[in-house]
A and B are shown apart, each in its own frame.
Chain A
Amino acid sequence: DAKTTQPTSMDCAEGRAANLPCNHSTISGNEYVYWYRQIHSQGPQYIIHGLKNNETNEMASLIITEDRKSSTLILPHATLRDTAVYYCIVRGLGGSQGNLIFGKGTKLSVKP
């Protein structure tokens, strides 16, 4: 079972920041938080990941709370092409923990 809880759906206005929350209250100290998105039926696309510190790349920012029990993915200026299902995944190290366990994700709809 997925170790994360995400809202089923969210709306965001085009050009505004999209903030997608994720709860992972049972995360272990050596587990990473990964974010992927899937546009329609395309292959999941890697967005960002982090362990403890906040992370930023060209696509998004990841804010992880100090207790690591929750995180927020921020798309700073959402566009219509960001409409997708966003998956927050807690990933362990090595062996069978290395694979990704996908939950149902958050369906983000960016509206004009």
Chain B
Amino acid sequence: DSGVTQTPKHLITATGQRVTLRCSPRSGDLSVYWYQQSLDQGLQFLIQYYNGEERAKGNILERFSAQQFPDLHSELNLSSLELGDSALYFCATSGLSHTDTQYFGPGTRLTVL
């Protein structure tokens, strides 16, 4: 158990809908990273937040957004969902330094029908 929690574990929704995925970091971790894992693309970095502010962006679509709240939990919002958005979504958290090790949560499996 990494200490990182993600909810929900599974999410099934329809095309065009909007969903919110939640990540709670390990105690003391300030950084949150979001990753997407699809069958054809592998694990890809989406976005990073550090202490409430966006720090880095990866291959994140404009339909996707994230935020980190004062209690340091983070939410990833996915809108206008398409079939191709079906994937595993992981968050990882790390401590004060940007060289600190990232610890991953168990993931949310999103299925878009």
Interface residues of A (CB under 8 A from B): 32, 34, 36, 41-46, 49, 87, 91, 93-96, 98-104
Q: Is B66 part of the contact surface with A, judged by Cβ < 8 Å?
A: no
With A41-B107, A95-B55 as contacts: A100 and B102 at CB distance below 8 Å = yes
Q: Which of B44, B58, B90 contacts A43 (CB 8 A)?
A: B90
Measured CA separation A100–B56 after assembly (Å): 12
Nearest residue in B to A99 (C-beta to C-beta)? B45
Q: Is B106 part of the contact surface with A, judged by Cβ < 8 Å?
A: yes
Measured CA separation A25–B111 after assembly (Å): 38
With A45-B104, A104-B42 as contacts: A96 and B57 at CB distance below 8 Å = yes
Contacts of B107 in A (CB 8 A): 41-43
Nearest residue in A to B100 (C-beta to C-beta)? A98
Given contacts A87-B43, A99-B58, 9 further A-B contacts (CB under 8 A): A41-B109, A43-B2, A43-B4, A44-B43, A44-B92, A46-B101, A49-B101, A99-B56, A100-B33
Q: How far is the CB of B49 from chain A (nearest CB, A)?
A: 12
Q: What are 28 A-B residue pairs whose CB atoms fall within 8 Å in the complex?
A: A32-B99, A36-B104, A41-B88, A41-B107, A41-B109, A42-B107, A43-B92, A43-B105, A44-B90, A45-B2, A46-B102, A49-B101, A93-B98, A93-B99, A94-B98, A95-B56, A95-B98, A96-B56, A98-B48, A98-B55, A98-B99, A99-B48, A99-B56, A99-B58, A100-B33, A100-B43, A100-B92, A102-B43
Q: Which residue, A32, A41, A43, A44, has most C-beta atoms of chain B within 10 A?
A: A43
Measured CA separation A14–B99 after assembly (Å): 34
Q: How far is the CB of A92 from chain B (nearest CB, A)?
A: 9
Contact yes or no, A42 B42, CB < 8 A: no
Contacts of B44 in A (CB 8 A): 102
Measured CA separation A62–B101 after assembly (Å): 16
Measured CA separation A101–B41 after assembly (Å): 12
